[in-house]
Amino acid sequence: MSASPLPATTDPKSSELGFGRLLAFALPALPVAAFQLPFVILVPKFYAENVGLSFIAVGAIITIVRLIDAFLDPFVGYYADHTSPRWGRRRTWFALAAIPTTVGALFVFNPFPNVASENTWFWAGWFFVWSMMLSVGYTALSLSHLSWGAEVSTSYFGRNRIFAAREVLAVIGTLVATGLPFVLSTLGLHGDTPVLIALSVLVVATLPAFTALTVFTVPEPPHVARKHLNFVEGLKGLLKNEHFVRLLGAYALANMGNGVPATLLLYYVRDYVHGNEETQRFLLLLYFLFGVLSTPLWLWISKRTSKHRAWSFAMLTACAGFVWSPFAGWDYLGDNAVWAFGAIMILAGMSVGADLMLPVSMQADVIDVDTARTGEQHTGFYFASWALANKIALSIALGIGFVLLGLVGYDKGDRVADTITSSEVHVVAQPPVEGAVVAPPKVDRQKPVNKRKGHHHPNPDKPVKQTPKAKWTLVFLYCFVPIILKLAAVRLVWNFPIGAEEQARLRAEIEAKLREQEGGEGAAV
């Protein structure tokens, strides 16, 4: 399939989106983020505790889904780069990918069939099928969105602006997801079930609408292509790009450093800090709120230094928070542990904006190295490899978190639900406000009742006493593993060679080659 390059843009500012189009481009990130964090944190916990799958089953299913999805990533990216639909590559793929993403989110968050939890194979299949659809749809959607943003702007700091807008909307979406439980609690709807249902409704109502707005208002970026490389040639060129390999390694390490504590946060707060469900939600809200508030700071630092130095400073800030986490336990500080852990969450949260925005913007700059070298824009292929590393990192993080805790005998706290009666289930499913004391009714424990045919309903407010081995495994995974991984990532990017001057030189080289080719084609005609 041949393709002719569009005229190059010599003035970087002329290709920048105005505020209205910038907002239209960024809006789909909001509903996507609204399901993304709950899919990592709440959904595994929900299927383990409410649906009744084991820790090891949940961890294994998530790992399998991530690995299959990761295997498909390069192929999705390659064909997204090498198809030429009438609407444009990025626009068409983005619109089509929104369909399975929406359907997958609707069903993975709504395990509505009235099937007993003892039917493990049914629920494992349900969780696998809809998680797979959601993951594959999200892959194509995010690849198209990221590639679109990287190609719409060709300047070093202009890309910061594009991805800052996208990630601010993503963090706002996460804040919506995090704050939703507070709103539902005031309406008398407690626990994870109404939260997940509400999130699925939010995604179904907004993702198709925002996708349509983006498709019809944001321009399709120019397609830079002097020749088309096949899949193997493209892969070889990717591996020869030493800047990409270096950045990819740092990003994978940093994402693992984010994924491990994210997976274990709710258990850490419940069993180590002794915070109740409301505390857990509030800490997540605090974390992402400071992610939004700190974004202008990291943009400013990146302009004063560089993207890679600003990202390094952000990761070091997160490490400065994690290092104090072992001392923020209830055994050390009592009721003050929640406040101490809140301060830690603020420090960790301040790095979120940089983690989401700067590495992706750096990735767009790294792609310029390949474009200048090969004469073809492999943006989708590069971001697919980026997503592959991200998913492998998250699957490893999830596997480490759940499987290791299962192996050391971590008590997830659902056994009490196997023998409680209907009166007690009401108290567990509708936990009291913080500080209230509820006297359990007198009940007959010889007549166990399971709500929704055996689905478990643990009390999210009550800490579960763990063995010393389980407790310190949790502490090590949550506190020290992220620090080790993030410091390794900082080591890789601290002196990253592509800054504003080098990126401008690469773009000038790309533009010159395109003008030279156009001149040659004109002379031939």
Strand-pairing partners, residue 225, are: 376
pLDDT at position 225, please? Answer: 56
CA 208 to chain centre: 20
Q: 65: which residues sit within 8 A by CB, 6+ positions away? A: 128, 131, 132, 135
Mind listing the pLDDT tens digit for each residue in 452-492? 444 444 455 677 777 888 888 888 888 888 999 999 999 99
Q: What is the pLDDT of residue 250?
A: 92
One-letter amino acid at 100 equals P
pLDDT of residue 157: 80
Output the six-digit token pair for 406.
């299962």
Least Cα distance to 319 among 136, 479, 453 occurs for 479
pLDDT at 476: 86
Structure tokens at 29: 């990130």
Domain 19-412+460-520 in CATH: superfamily?
Answer: MFS general substrate transporter like domains (1.20.1250.20)
Q: What is the pLDDT of residues 111-121, one digit of tens each?
A: 777 777 677 78
The domain locations on the chain are 19-412+460-520
Residue 37 to residue 59: CA distance in whole angstroms: 16
Residue segments in the chain with a per-residue pLDDT below the cut of 50: 1-14, 415-458, 523, 525
Give 145's contacts (C-beta < 8 A, 6+ positions apart). Answer: 28, 29, 94, 166
d(CA 184, CA 199) in angstroms, rounded, equals 11
Q: What is the pLDDT of residue 315?
A: 94
Please report the pLDDT score of residue 417 as a whole number: 34
Identify whether the C-beta of residue 376 lies closer than 8 Å to the C-beta of residue 233: no
Distance CA 258, CA 351 (A): 10
- CA–CA–CA angle 434, 429, 178 (5° rounding): 65
| Amino acid 208: pLDDT | 94
Neighbour tally for 298: CB within 10 Å? 26
Question: Could you give the CA distance from residue 221 to residue 17 in angstroms, rounded to a whole number?
Answer: 11
